[in-house]
Chains A and B, each alone.
Chain A
């Protein structure tokens, strides 16, 4: 079945450091890929998405490129802020005709940004 593997955390960075969170996936079809973020005490929010190979999703300075050849969707940000501290989840969608959309999530990577 479909699966998502992302790097384990926690990841601790200093403010303005470069961020990379690795994500690889296994899927039988051609899924859409997502990064969701969960701030403390809040629900999951979509950060960015890419729906086909070579697409780049971007939002709030974060970006990720859908790499079909390496089955990866790594999250990057050039300069993190304290406010970026959260748990980040990589996910893929599995659209089943007549069955709707289902997301498969990775285990999450906790990011802590310090001054």
Chain B
């Protein structure tokens, strides 16, 4: 049973560029959330996708956008990259029907470095 997979694992961009990160949820999961983890910090919630719609969003600017596909996979896009966007981006999947007691399964993350 494949867990959550993310790609790429590492990438380097320069300021002003755009980046797309990809996530495949755990088999059977229908909800995907994205988190940003800065070095030495806890993950911060970016947004969540369910039924191909963004339904909850954290305190992140519109430069951060996403998409969920019919097969439940998801993309995170960041435009106009800033140095401060350098972080580990984590994708987590879950099953909507489990509610708030359901576990979030995390991928290993995509480490973005902005120069």
Contacts and interface: CB of A to CB of B under 8 A. Distances in A.
A91 B96 CA distance: 19
A44 B106 CA distance: 6
Contacts of A105: 42-44
Interface residues of B, number: 30
Contact of B45 (A44, A51, A103): A103
A42 B108 contact: yes
Contacts of B55: 98-100
A44 B100 CA distance: 18
B33 A102 contact: yes
A102 B43 contact: no
B56 A49 contact: no
Interface string A37-65: 00001111110010100000000000000
A107 interface: yes
B50 A51 contact: no
A100 B98 CA distance: 10
Contacts of A4: 42
B102 A101 contact: yes
A66 to B, nearest CB: 12
Contacts of B45: 102-104
Interface string A75-97: 00000000000000101011110
B68 interface: no
A43 B50 contact: no
A93 B8 CA distance: 28
Contact of B104 (A95, A103, A106): A103
B18 to A, nearest CB: 25
9 contacts: A31-B100, A44-B43, A44-B90, A45-B106, A89-B42, A95-B99, A99-B55, A102-B45, A103-B92
Which 3 A-B pairs give the minimum distances between C-beta atoms? A95-B100, A105-B42, A44-B106
Interface of B: 4, 31, 33, 35, 40-45, 48, 50, 55-56, 58, 90, 92, 94, 96, 99-109
Given A4-B42, A104-B45, 15 more contacts: A31-B100, A42-B108, A43-B106, A46-B104, A95-B100, A100-B33, A100-B48, A100-B50, A100-B55, A101-B31, A101-B94, A102-B58, A103-B35, A107-B42, A108-B41
